[in-house]
Structure 1
Amino acid sequence: MPSNPALKAVAVFEASKGLVALAAASGLLLLVHRDLHELALRLVEHTHLNPAAHYPGIFIEAATHLQNARLALLAAGAALYATVRFVEAYGLYRGAAWAEVLAAVGGAIYVPFEVAEVIHRQDGIGVAVLAINLAIVGVAVRALLRRRGAGSQNAA
């Protein structure tokens, strides 16, 4: 299959999502065996928020109850997500049909939630996220349809 610049752009985007997830996983692992209550309190005070206020208090309370096992599980989940993104990016960059299917299905899963978010909030960020995701799904579906058309022409 000829090189598709749109698929390569999606591959780079998916790889960057993988890098962000990997950074998040690493950050979570750095928090294991730390006093999260103290860390949350210092973060709230550093941002000049009132620790006794409602939302900063919720954040501090949640950090207090976050256990090392839960942090490790979250880090493992983020690492797994990063791995899926890297594998998808590799497949898209190489023009693999399975990666196009993964990109189309993986992106389409989020569309109903993103539409609901846009309806509920109606902000520019939600619209941008929805538009980017629809573009990714469109690029993947278009590549699959082209592949299907090329396959049926070769069979004739």
Structure 2
Amino acid sequence: MSKAKKGLQAVATLEASKGVLSLIVGLGLHMLAGENLHLIISDLVAHLHLNPANYVTHMLLQESQSISSSNITLVEIGAFAYAAIRFIEAYGLWHGMVWTEWFAFISGTIYLPFEIYEMIVNFNVLSVGVFAINVAVVWYMYTILKSQRELHKQALNETQVSEE
């Protein structure tokens, strides 16, 4: 197996992992549909002996009152759609489909400004790690696409020379 194929399969595995995580979130939200989310969170806070006066706990309790089941349904649909996109991308990368290489490059690049903003606002190991992984994937996809373009140019030049 070539080095490029192994790299694409590694990126495919990462994308499939994102899809699985999104699917788990979507299924978790589906299980909460129709439930009183505020009551569930209040029970969880009491069970874990968290201080309701704590800023984060208080905000969580306060915000949980404004979440409706239609909002949960919208996020659930978004999670399932995101999972489907990631699974399609993973399949395409695993099987060497060029369009998914472009898709991975473009979708990874789109997230970079948001990840930079997140590092500025909330600098921690997680934000730096996510940014570093995404930069590595974008750079790798760029090198794959660039090498394919050079091979295509070389093939065109050889075709033109043989026609003369």
Q: Fold-level match, TM-score > 0.5?
A: yes
Question: Superposed, which structure 2 residues align to 1:53-132 within 5 Å?
Answer: 53-132=54-133
Distance 1:126 1:52, change over 3 A: closer
Q: 1:88: how far off?
A: 0.6
Distance 1:139 1:73, change over 3 A: same
Structure 1 regions of 5+ residues with no counterpart?
Answer: none
Aligned residue in 2 for 1:18: 19
TM-score normalised to structure 2 length: 0.87
Q: 1:136: how far off?
A: 0.5
Distance 1:82 1:47, change over 3 A: same
Q: 1:121: how far off?
A: 3.7
CA distance in 1, matches of 2:88, 2:147: 22
Aligned residue in 1 for 2:52: 51
Letter aligned with residue 149 of structure 1: E
CA distance in 1, matches of 2:32, 2:71: 11
CA distance in 2, matches of 1:145, 1:42: 54
Please state if 1:8 is matched with 2:9: yes
Distance 1:29 1:48, change over 3 A: same
CA distance in 2, matches of 1:91, 1:65: 40
SS across alignment from 1:48 = coil
Residues 55-84 of structure 1, C-alpha deviation per residue, up to 9 Å, x if partnerless?
322212222221111111110000000011
Deviates more, 1:92-101 or 1:59-68: 59-68
Runs of 4+ in 1 over 6 A off after TM superposition: none
Residues 95-133 of structure 1, C-alpha deviation per residue, up to 9 Å, x if partnerless?
111111111111111112222333344433222211100
Distance 1:116 1:22, change over 3 A: same
Structure 2 regions of 5+ residues with no counterpart?
Answer: 159-164
Deviates more, 1:83-92 or 1:57-66: 57-66
